[in-house]
Amino acid sequence: MEKDIRKHLIELARLRTTRSYSQVNDVLMLGLDFSNDYHRSLVGEWLGNISAHEFEKGRPLLSALVTHKNGQREQGDGFYKLCADLLGKNWEDLKKDKEWENGVIAKCYEFWLDKENFKNFENDFK
């Protein structure tokens, strides 16, 4: 499942766009019901594993491209908490810092639009 999600996130980066959790669920036919706590935690775990892997490899955090559908283009708290763990910062401070957040998204776009990066790392996942 994580490989499919990662592949989709790379496609989003190459299209320079984001998607809501619901859109990712629908496009990949994950069958998740976000009114179910377990399903929300499951997608959070998958996205967290993907971004932790990318971070270990020195690449941008792909899960930054998945946002709530409220129109604010804001990631879930789990994204900020993961970033806090990886970066040694306060997650609430990161959540308030829209410049940082936009920078993370821009780094995803830049990295994955590079043809060499795409060729070399598209399939570099566990």
CB 69 within 8 A of CB 21: yes
Residue 60 confidence (pLDDT): 98
- What pLDDT digit, counting tens, does each position of 79-90 carry? 999 999 999 999
Residue 58 lies in a domain: yes
Residue 84 lies in a domain: yes
- What pLDDT digit, counting tens, does each position of 32-69 carry? 999 999 999 999 999 999 999 999 999 999 999 999 87
Q: How many domains does the chain have?
A: 1
Which residues, including other chains, have CB under 8 Å from residue 30's CB and lie 6 or more apart?
1, 24, 43
CB 66 within 8 A of CB 40: no
Residue 126 lies in a domain: no
Residue 66 lies in a domain: yes
Range of the domain at 63: 2-121
**DSSP-derived secondary structure letter, 88:** T
pLDDT of 70 > 80? The answer is no
Residue 28 lies in a domain: yes
Residue 94 lies in a domain: yes
Residue 76 lies in a domain: yes
Which residues, in sequence order, are bridge partners of residue 67? Answer: 20
Residue 117 lies in a domain: yes
